[in-house]
Structure 1
Amino acid sequence: MGNNILITGAAGYIGGSVLANFISRTSGPIKAAQISAAVRSEEQAQKLSKLGVNVIQVDLVDETAVKEAVLRNEIDIVVHTASAIDGRIPSHLIKALGQRRKVSGEETYFIHSSITTLFSEEGGWPYGQVRDTDTVFEKEKEIGGPHPVRQTNILVTEQAKAHGVTSFNIVVPHVYGRGSGEWRKLSVSIPAYVRTSMAHKIVYKFDKDGHPPAAHISDLIELYALLVEKILQKERIPSGEEGYYFAMAHRTPWWAAMDRIAQSLHARGLVAESKPSIWPSDKMAADYLGFPVLYVRAMGTSSGDLVPVNAYRLGWKPKWDEEQFLASIDDEVQAVLELDTVKATIFDLLTSADK
């Protein structure tokens, strides 16, 4: 089989960290692979080109451009981190991989990135506890509905099967820690709270606590790497309808985290009080944080009863736990003060629809 890997969102927090991890390897199957990085802008392309990888500047919403990029660069494996929301992008990539498979006669693979919030009551999950070894795909289809991430999950599995592409779905939790990529080094949730708190001189939390799944960025990236290694070694692992991988290392106690954020910012003189207040409304929370109003409450209060099985069966061994997460909050605040130079665009499609 071929071993040409394309990482989408390579200028982003997760994609950039995946790229940094892959190119830093000194041995193993990933070291022997050819790595390509997909970016949107010329500025991003110039920044990443210094890494010695094949940088592809491409509009992933342009189906013709995507097909040309995949075929011209002979891409066999796509690690898709660019968007869990816009179904057009994985659709274009999967169709292109299907064409690549016909041309090369070799298997092609698509690794999708979803989110764990979907599998909570607040995210529309009515079935209670869920293991990633359950019939997750069939249950997602039963739920249906307009949620763009769930729609994209279903699309990925169905289109991959239709085009002869082997698919996997890494279901991404709340992620924290400093990224190792060249462009965006900050996650989404905690930086948004820190940024908003500094702007308004007050830390807010929701009136309901949440304990969602979480993972440090370094642990999450090791899961992506482990999955790619298994693919390159031609190991038989769960894929397609059975290919969900819950990337849960521990849980995030949101109220405790908000307390730590308030204490850290207050100690720096950046907020007036050392304890959080309650958001007056979900609309205000969405406006201040820059999150989509339809999903902001689920993002801030959900927990879900997820049981990760597939990731650990691969051999995933996350190093960070809840205690270490809480102890790192001050560094999370400091990281925003040092590194908050690149705007997050993950919710642009949804927040524009709110307006």
Structure 2
Amino acid sequence: MIRNILITGAGGYIGGSVATKFATQKDGPIKNTKIYAAVRSKDQTKSASIPGLAVLQLDCGDYEAVKDVVLNNHIDMVIHTASSMVASYSQNLLEALGERRKQSGQETGVLTAFTDMGGWRYGQCKDSDAEIFTKEKGIGDVHPTDILIVEQSKALGVKSFILPAPYVYGRGTGDWRKLSVSIPQYIRTSMRLKQVYKFPEDAAPAATHISDLVSLYKLLATKILLGQTPPANENGYYFPFAHRIPWYKTMDLLAKAMHSRGLVNQPHVEIWPSYEKAADEYGFPRQFIRAMGASSGDIVAEKPFELGWKPQWDEKKYLENIDQEVQDFLELDSGKASIFDALTT
């Protein structure tokens, strides 16, 4: 029976929100588990305020440290939201869980989030596609982390579940970071330039409110705890995509909301002269800026809904909440968050 759950990246936006939800759960099997939250800094361990949450400092790049945490705390499930683009972090967690499985004789598992479906060349991508893993392997080195997760999980007897995070928005509930990455960075840059800009091309990427993403993690964990383990490993892809967000409409609403507060000079949006200029102003990598700002992708989520996932946010509610996104930014922004922070939390 799974009794102890480790959540990595708990000092970040997604991991912190998941940790808070799990530690404060009042019903269901999660309330009977011990929740461990892994953060990067000692200061974060001292400032934790969520009752029932065991916060510990952990460098996921240090295998011996990871193994000690997993074995000494009898961890049977890991929710990995930290530095998902760093394959060695996932590898260390999987190997430690493999050791834990030998020690306990019971199943262990990882729920992991990763970003960017870049390089996909097979048209529409459904999480229910039985060949999705084989197709990913055919891309080459574009998705090394999730390929490693699937192959190593099978080799170690660990069950893995992959949740590729879309654009996530809304006010988080973690102790440390409550803001997402992209929209706050657009607001921050617009304030500095006194003007809201949009990319030369419109896009409508998949998106999910933070509360809905957390609810999917809860749903998967609950089913696993109840012994109703959903398909895992090469069949363990679950796309947490609730709706799409139209970027041009988003930027138009941002401009109006910011202008009404005196944060920009006009309520109208200008177009960036180039993607390179946009990348430099936002502080995003030039090689990824077009994919980040003008890519929609024909990605279809089916399996979360088959599990019973019921997102509460849709496109209409998202657009109606843009003014609140600006207000949340003004209340919560530390001025330190960046795309690089998000990838290394």
| 1:344 CA drift (Å) | 2.8
State whether structure 2 residue 124 is matched by structure 1 residue 141. Answer: no
| 1:205 CA drift (Å) | 1.0
| 1:291 CA drift (Å) | 1.8
CA distance in 1, matches of 2:14, 2:209: 11
- The residue correspondences of 1:227-242 to structure 2 (distance < 5 A) are 227-242=220-235
RMSD: 1.6
CA distance in 2, matches of 1:328, 1:349: 23
Structure 2 residue corresponding to 1:220, chosen from 213, 218, 224: 213
- Aligned twin of 2:29: 29
Using the size of structure 1 for normalisation, the TM-score is 0.93
State whether structure 2 residue 152 is matched by structure 1 residue 159. Answer: yes
Which letter maps to 2:231?
P
Is contact 1:29–1:233 with CA below 8 Å preserved after alignment? yes
- Aligned twin of 2:44: 44
Is contact 2:203–2:295 with CA below 8 Å preserved after alignment? yes
Is contact 2:84–2:343 with CA below 8 Å preserved after alignment? no
List gaps (5 residues or longer) in structure 1: none
List gaps (5 residues or longer) in structure 2: none
> Given the superposition, is the C-alpha separation of residues 342 and 19 from structure 1 closer, same or farther in structure 2, using an over 3 Å criterion?
farther
- Aligned twin of 1:203: 196
How many correspondences in the alignment? 343
Q: Secondary structure at the match of 2:29?
A: coil
CA distance in 2, matches of 1:213, 1:320: 12
| 1:45 CA drift (Å) | 0.6
| 1:164 CA drift (Å) | 1.2
- Aligned twin of 1:280: 273
State whether structure 2 residue 3 is matched by structure 1 residue 10. Answer: no
CA distance in 1, matches of 2:68, 2:176: 25
CA distance in 2, matches of 1:337, 1:287: 23
> Given the superposition, is the C-alpha separation of residues 160 and 345 from structure 1 closer, same or farther in structure 2, using an over 3 Å criterion?
farther
CA distance in 2, matches of 1:295, 1:283: 10
Structure 2 residue corresponding to 1:182, chosen from 165, 169, 175: 175
- The residue correspondences of 1:1-355 to structure 2 (distance < 5 A) are 1-48=1-48, 51-115=51-115, 117-118=116-117, 123-134=118-129, 135-145=131-141, 147=142, 150-341=143-334, 343-344=336-337, 346-347=339-340
CA distance in 2, matches of 1:223, 1:343: 28
Is contact 1:18–1:221 with CA below 8 Å preserved after alignment? yes
Is contact 1:205–1:277 with CA below 8 Å preserved after alignment? yes
CA deviation profile, 1:71-90 (whole Å, cap 9, x unmatched): 11110000011122111111
CA distance in 2, matches of 1:156, 1:68: 20
Using the size of structure 2 for normalisation, the TM-score is 0.96
Is contact 2:279–2:286 with CA below 8 Å preserved after alignment? yes
Q: Secondary structure at the match of 1:347?
A: helix
Q: Secondary structure at the match of 2:38?
A: strand
Q: Secondary structure at the match of 1:78?
A: strand
Q: Secondary structure at the match of 2:286?
A: coil
Which letter maps to 1:170?
L
| 1:284 CA drift (Å) | 2.1
Q: For structure 1, which segment, 222-231 or 268-277, has the greater mean C-alpha deviation from structure 2 after superposition?
A: 268-277
Which letter maps to 2:119?
G
Q: For structure 1, which segment, 243-252 or 82-91, has the greater mean C-alpha deviation from structure 2 after superposition?
A: 82-91
Percent identity of the aligned residues?
A: 54
| 1:350 CA drift (Å) | 7.8
Q: Secondary structure at the match of 2:161?
A: strand
Is contact 1:214–1:249 with CA below 8 Å preserved after alignment? yes
Is contact 1:114–1:169 with CA below 8 Å preserved after alignment? yes
CA distance in 1, matches of 2:274, 2:110: 39
